[in-house]
Amino acid sequence: MIDIDKENESDLRIVDFDVIGMSRLEEAMNGVDWHLHRLGGGVERVSMDGTMEETISAWMYQHQKPLTIPFLDQEKLLNCKITALTEDGIRSLCALPLICAHQHIGCLLIRSKQPEAYSNDEVRFLSLIADMIASALAGAINFEALQKTQADLQAEKDRLQLLLELNNQVVSNLDLRTLLRAISVSVRRVMQCDAVGVHLPDTESGQLQLYALDIPDGNGLLTEDAQVLREGSGGGNPGEVFRTRKPMLMSQVGSGPCSSSSGASIHGTVLAGKSLESACALPLICHDRTLGVLELGRLQGPAFTQADIDFLVQVANQIAITIENALAYGEITELKNQLSREKLYLEDEIRSEKGFEEIIGRSAAIRAVLRNIETVAPTGSTVLIYGETGTGKELVARAIHERSPRCSNAFVKLNCAAIPTGLLESELFGHERGAFTGAIMQRIGRFEVANHGTAFLDEISEISLELQPKLLRVLQEREFERLGSTCTLKTDARLIAATNRDLADCVEKKTFRADLYYRLNVFPIQVPPLRDRAEDIPVLVRHFVQHFARRMNRVIDTIPSDTMEALVRHSWPGNIRELQNLVEHSVILSSGPVLRVPLAGLQSGAAASRGSVKRRTLEEAEREHILNTLKETKWVVSGARGAASRLGMNRSTLQLRMKKLGIARPGM
């Protein structure tokens, strides 16, 4: 527009008028918007309501020729509108159609407060002006249409490109959260909105979790991992969309406060201090399974339309396929890693001597243990096994695992006394590369390997006080961190612990935490020593003889009765492990079908026991047994023929017992 000085306006005007205006044809059908310019004022937009028969624009469209009304107060044809004009002081008017190349564009209208203001010559002149205006308007309209067409084509191209990108993501192996963040950025750009979020069900709480969120510059109160109730209803809550599996449009969503049930949704939130004007949410469905909800929001601009929803349904279908593939890939990767960890662990187990898989015995004491195993195995509760060294605590733990729902997963064992204190934390929880000197690669801890399986910790009383709180956290919170890592890992490992000490006494002596003791002592099982189940000794002897004879390719079918009686009378301070080692030694000595057992050591031990007035304690018996074994091996501790091997112990365990019992090599 050209601004004209009000003082010179009348000098420059060729045709007198008080009001000049123009309307477009598409606006003339019902309720016309006129752009009017009054003398002494600016351009204003005025709405004139009316029907086709009542408006000047409709008359122009019908007759396609100029209309001159010299006396408005005498006009009868357009009576309904003339009344309003005369009240405004207008006495005459001239209206001209705007036609270009047989295209009816609109209407040019000039009004005057003077009657008979426009002569025939002025009407002919104004007709020329109208033709020029029509030509200019036609060009502007065509230019707008071309721009709109180009914009529509570009928008369609962007939408097709978005579908292609999503289709390419279907086979992507990216991390799910990273993948959804990238998808959210693309969707927000193409749909020209201000916020895009993807809600997925949380496996633990069962509620919808805002898994990925894209907001420019991070403005807003929403954060990833926030939750929204799946049971929430009304107002377009994503939980309602998830439940009903139907897309939902929301307008003016920021007009009221956000309820707690929808606090983690884009719907109803505030970004950069402004409320969202419109939002929509769509279910993510694949193979008739609802995987989540896609949510979009706009601060301003056009509200989401049904056409947008139709397109976004296609987008949601592609995203759902992408999520399903990513979840399946994650599950496969986790199973693959789990199998790999179990394979490495089992390979280590194969290299070591495995214990016997069956608990042998018919005594009342062992039957009580078996009843306890049958009772606690299906529950998944923590079990604490008490018993002297060599009584078969590991066999009891294996029996619990094999009769539990976790039997198809790993049974992971660790002797806490056999690992130096500084390395025990790494053995339990693992470590990252570079976590400490010598950590040249990542190591997976026993609790991670035992996920969904069973972790058996023998000699648990040997765990240091510094490490006990971390073990308590695993039991209570089911989470831990590897050494050198800040990433919290979850574990669903069942813990079975064993000890040959009185943990209650350790708690009193401040060597064991009381809270950890109470958490472990949920279901205690006492494994009886061999001396309390003498009736099981013949059965055990025959079992061990058959086992070792088969392994050494020998045939031994006779055990002398006096030999068996001597074995039954023996006190067995080393319990079943001592009996097992003695039988193995005897099978080696037996070249024929009769078992030859070196009874001299057993008889001398029995005679000393009978001749003693004072009954020996367990520690005294254990000390004597270790001393005798060390003398027989000439104080060789490690190796295949060492004392540790004969006693069925690890070298480090034997050294700890020797230190505790005050056993030292003569001359040292």
State mean pLDDT over 117-130: 87
**pLDDT value for 225:** 61
Residue 376 dihedral angles phi and psi, to the nearest 5°: -90, -20
Mean pLDDT comparison of 139-143, 162-166, 257-261, 314-318, highest-scoring range: 314-318
Q: Between 75 and 258, whose confidence is greater?
A: 75
Q: At residue 627, what is the residue type?
A: L
Q: Reading across the β-sheet that carries 195-201, which strands appear in turn?
A: 227-228, 208-214, 195-201, 289-298, 278-286, 248-251
Kindly report, residue by residue over 440-466, the tens digit of the pLDDT: 888 888 999 999 999 999 999 999 999
For residues 563 and 597, the answer to whether their CB atoms sit within 8 Å is yes
At the topology level, CATH places domain 176-329 in Beta-Lactamase (3.30.450)
Contacts 24+ apart (CB under 8 A), 627-631: 627/663, 628/601, 630/663, 630/665
Distance CA 306, CA 35 (A): 32
Range scoring the smallest mean pLDDT among 82-96, 457-471, 600-614: 600-614
Structure tokens at 90: 């207008």
The contacts of residue 1 (CB under 8 Å, 6+ apart) are 43
State mean pLDDT over 390-403: 92
Distance CA 214, CA 218 (A): 8
Residue 146 dihedral angles phi and psi, to the nearest 5°: -65, -45
User: In the structure, what pLDDT confidence band is assigned to residue 107 with cuts at 50, 70 and 90?
Assistant: confident
The percentage of residues in the chain with a pLDDT greater than 70, rounded to a whole number, is 76
For residues 134 and 50, the answer to whether their CB atoms sit within 8 Å is no
Residues forming beta bridges with residue 283, ordered by sequence position: 293
Q: Between 159 and 495, whose confidence is greater?
A: 495
**184: three-class secondary structure by DSSP:** helix
Mean of the per-residue pLDDT values of the chain: 79
Mean pLDDT comparison of 165-169, 206-210, 224-228, highest-scoring range: 206-210
CATH 1.10.8.60 domain residues, the chain: 532-661
**pLDDT value for 337:** 73
Q: Between 352 and 32, whose confidence is greater?
A: 32
Kindly report, residue by residue over 44-65, the tens digit of the pLDDT: 665 554 444 456 777 777 788 8
User: In the structure, what pLDDT confidence band is assigned to residue 371 with cuts at 50, 70 and 90?
Assistant: very high
Identify which of 494, 493, 500 has the alpha carbon closest to the alpha carbon of residue 393: 500
Range scoring the smallest mean pLDDT among 243-252, 404-413, 486-495: 243-252
- Residue at token pair 């990513």: 326
**pLDDT value for 154:** 67
Residue 38 dihedral angles phi and psi, to the nearest 5°: -100, 150
Tell me if the pTM is above 0.85: no
**274: three-class secondary structure by DSSP:** strand
Range scoring the smallest mean pLDDT among 178-182, 588-592, 605-609: 605-609
The contacts of residue 663 (CB under 8 Å, 6+ apart) are 623, 626, 627, 630, 657
Cα atoms in the Cβ-side hemisphere of radius 13 Å centred on 443: 20
At the topology level, CATH places domain 6-144 in Beta-Lactamase (3.30.450)
At the topology level, CATH places domain 353-526 in Rossmann fold (3.40.50)
**457: three-class secondary structure by DSSP:** strand
Distance CA 615, CA 348 (A): 43
**pLDDT value for 393:** 93
Structure tokens at 49: 């309501």
**pLDDT value for 520:** 94
At the topology level, CATH places domain 532-661 in Helicase, Ruva Protein; domain 3 (1.10.8)
Q: Between 144 and 637, whose confidence is greater?
A: 637
- Residue at token pair 């069925």: 648
State mean pLDDT over 13-32: 67
Q: Between 605 and 102, whose confidence is greater?
A: 102
Distance CA 411, CA 398 (A): 7
Angle between the 120-169 and 176-191 helix axes, to the nearest 10 degrees? Answer: 170
Distance CA 254, CA 155 (A): 27
Distance CA 144, CA 263 (A): 42
CATH 3.30.450.40 domain residues, the chain: 6-144, 176-329
Task: Specify burial of residue 539 (Cβ count, 10 A radius: 0-12, 13-18, 19+).
Answer: middle
DSSP 186-210: HHHHHHT-SEEEEEEE-TTT-SEEE
36, pLDDT greater than 60: yes
Distance CA 106, CA 528 (A): 106
For residues 412 and 455, the answer to whether their CB atoms sit within 8 Å is yes
**pLDDT value for 223:** 66
Kindly report, residue by residue over 259-305, the tens digit of the pLDDT: 333 455 666 555 545 677 888 899 999 888 899 999 988 888 788 88
Identify which of 177, 491, 443, 210 has the alpha carbon closest to the alpha carbon of residue 334: 491
**pLDDT value for 5:** 46
**pLDDT value for 431:** 87
Distance CA 606, CA 208 (A): 71
Cα atoms in the Cβ-side hemisphere of radius 13 Å centred on 20: 11
The percentage of residues in the chain with a pLDDT greater than 90, rounded to a whole number, is 22
For residues 470 and 480, the answer to whether their CB atoms sit within 8 Å is yes
* C-beta neighbour count of 439 within 10 angstroms: 15
Kindly report, residue by residue over 478-516, the tens digit of the pLDDT: 999 998 888 889 999 999 999 999 999 999 999 999 999
* C-beta neighbour count of 470 within 10 angstroms: 14
Full 3-state SS string of 303-362: CCCHHHHHHHHHHHHHHHHHHHHHHHHHHHHHHHHHHHHHHHHHHHHHHCCCCCCCCCCC
**pLDDT value for 6:** 46
- End-to-end, the C-alpha distance of the chain in Å comes to 112
C-alpha pair distances (Å), 156 with each of 214, 405, 645, 648 = 22, 55, 78, 76
Kindly report, residue by residue over 508-520, the tens digit of the pLDDT: 999 999 999 999 9
**379: three-class secondary structure by DSSP:** helix
**pLDDT value for 227:** 64
C-alpha pair distances (Å), 602 with each of 99, 565, 582, 591, 619 = 126, 11, 10, 21, 18
User: In the structure, what pLDDT confidence band is assigned to residue 86 with cuts at 50, 70 and 90?
Assistant: low
**pLDDT value for 346:** 63
Q: Which residues of 379-399 are buried (b: 16+ CB within 10 A; e: fewer)?
A: eeebbbbbbbbbbbbbbbbbb
Structure tokens at 659: 């230190």
Residues forming beta bridges with residue 69, ordered by sequence position: 93
Identify which of 635, 534, 617 has the alpha carbon closest to the alpha carbon of residue 575: 534
**pLDDT value for 331:** 78
Structure tokens at 359: 């608990």
Q: At residue 178, what is the residue type?
A: T
Identify which of 459, 432, 426 has the alpha carbon closest to the alpha carbon of residue 445: 426
Task: Specify burial of residue 174 (Cβ count, 10 A radius: 0-12, 13-18, 19+).
Answer: middle
**pLDDT value for 381:** 94
**pLDDT value for 65:** 86
CATH 3.40.50.300 domain residues, the chain: 353-526
